[in-house]
């Protein structure tokens, strides 16, 4: 039986049997030919000691070596540093939105820069609304003062004095009137006197 040792995750030939060499601990019984894909000397030596024919193939994708791992680690560290910087920028923007600090440009990171733009627009809109509100409040106060002035100017002369003056004219002409006569009826009686 032929047995293939490979770390591949797909593209298996249904006619062949596969094993992952990373989990190899001893040769399997009944194997007449072992195909080892990649650099797995422990697998090769074990089968050769058993007298089994071994074929070595290069993997379609290279196995991660030390330099690949170092590159991956460096890339992950760079990604982590970038994410930490973005997180710090977002935290500063949240503190500014909560009023704990001034709104400042975060400097880097796509999300913090976008959030800064949105917060800046909101802040500018809020300032414009506040200014407009203050202007309207000022105008309303001026209007209230004008209405009070106009009301004071439009109020009739004290009715008691007016009534007393009208009654005096009617008394002088010996015209009778009701004791609780309205201003309008007294004015009419005085106007009738003047026409007569």
Tell me how far CA of residue 186 lies from CA of 86, 161, 163, 183, 194, in angstroms: 86, 13, 7, 5, 13
Q: How far is CA 190 from CA 106, 156, 158, 182, 187, in A?
A: 85, 18, 18, 12, 5
Q: CA 26 to CA 36: how far, in whole Å? A: 14
Most confident of 27-36, 65-74, 145-154: 27-36
CA-based end-to-end distance of the chain: 144
Distance CA 130, CA 17 (A): 75
Average pLDDT estimate for 60-84: 75
What per-residue confidence (pLDDT) applies to 154?
A: 66
Question: Contact, 36 vs 27, CB < 8 A?
Answer: no
pTM for the model: 0.38
DSSP state of 153: H
| Predicted confidence (pLDDT) at residue 18 exceeds the cutoff of 90 | yes
- Inform me whether the pLDDT recorded for 120 exceeds 80: yes
Place of tokens 């004791």: 179
**pLDDT at residue number 114:** 87
Over 60: is that where the pLDDT of 130 sits? yes
Q: Which pLDDT does position 47 carry in this prediction? A: 92
């Amino acid at each position: 039986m032929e047995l293939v040792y490979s770390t591949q995750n797909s593209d298996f030939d249904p006619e062949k049997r596969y094993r992952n060499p990373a989990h190899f601990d001893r040769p399997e019984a009944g194997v007449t030919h072992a195909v080892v894909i990649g650099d797995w000397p422990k697998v090769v030596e074990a089968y050769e000691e058993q007298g089994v024919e071994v074929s070595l193939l290069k993997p379609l994708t290279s196995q991660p070596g030390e330099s690949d791992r170092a590159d991956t680690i460096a890339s992950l560290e760079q990604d982590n540093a970038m994410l930490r910087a973005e997180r710090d920028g977002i935290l500063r923007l949240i503190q500014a939105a909560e009023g704990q600090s001034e709104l400042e440009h975060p400097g880097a990171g796509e999300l913090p820069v976008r959030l800064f733009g949105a917060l800046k627009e909101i802040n500018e809109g809020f300032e414009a609304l506040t200014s407009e509100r203050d202007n309207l409040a000022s105008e309303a106060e001026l209007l209230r003062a004008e209405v009070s002035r106009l009301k004071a100017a439009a109020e009739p002369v004290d009715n008691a004095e007016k009534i007393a003056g009208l009654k005096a004219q009617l008394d002088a002409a010996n015209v009778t009137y009701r004791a609780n006569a309205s201003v309008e009826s007294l004015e009419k009686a005085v106007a009738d006197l003047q026409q007569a």
